[in-house]
Amino acid sequence: MLQRPVEPKQYTSIRLTEHLALQEIRPSIGTVGDAYDNALMETVNGLYKAECIRTTVFHDGPYKTIADVEYATAGWVDWYNNRRLHSTLGNVPPVEFEQVHYAALNPEPQPT
């Protein structure tokens, strides 16, 4: 019986699955072509468009160049990670919450 050759995307999927298994990493993908984290990506993309692209909070006036978009995007990413108060995180910025989290995992050694 003749077998169909493996298509490149199937081969990539097989290789990715094998690599993740070897590294003991659980993939964030379910069935073929279906990502569990797609909703998170779509949410962040929607926030970016609403908070950065469709407003003038991170830029003055309409965008005229790619550099205008890049500059506004850099400002939005900085704000989003470093100054935005996140209610789920106790109204602290994500970077502050992350610092506290990792400090609790790795406390400073105390002198004995």
Unique residue bearing structure tokens 């609790």: 104
Q: Which residues pair with 92 in a beta bridge?
A: 86
pLDDT computed for residue 59 by the predictor: 93
Dist CA 14 CA 60 (whole Å) = 47
pLDDT tens sequence across 10-65? 556 777 778 888 888 776 656 555 555 677 778 899 999 999 999 999 999 899 99
pLDDT tens sequence across 99-109? 999 988 877 77
Q: Tell whether pTM > 0.85.
A: no
pLDDT computed for residue 54 by the predictor: 95
Q: What token pair was written down for 34?
A: 């279906």
What one-character-per-residue DSSP string does 43-73 give?
Answer: HHHHHHIIIIISSSSSSSSS--SHHHHHHHH
